[in-house]
Amino acid sequence: EANNASEELFGNERMLTALNHHAGEKPEDVLNGVRTEVDSFVGDVPQFDDLTMIALSFIGGAGESSSGI
């Protein structure tokens, strides 16, 4: 819900673009890259709420079952 000076939201489309821009990177690099893009969009506008991000890395092969059955 990050807003810029024109009160536009960063929004889902910008978020998807940012995530796709950093696809294939290590999780911490994805988070840093997205944060940089959000900060660039927001500019000097004060942050009015917190920003929470999480990135996960799946390590395993295709078709593996995690159910243990």
Q: Each residue of 9-61: pLDDT tens digit?
A: 999 999 999 999 999 899 999 999 999 999 999 999 988 788 899 998 888 87
28 versus 63: which is more confidently predicted? 28
Residue with tokens 């995530």: 19
Sign of CA dihedral 45, 14, 31, 54: positive
Q: Can you give the pTM of this predicted structure?
A: 0.76
Residue with tokens 């995690």: 66
User: How many Å apart are CA 48 and CA 46, to the nearest integer?
Assistant: 6
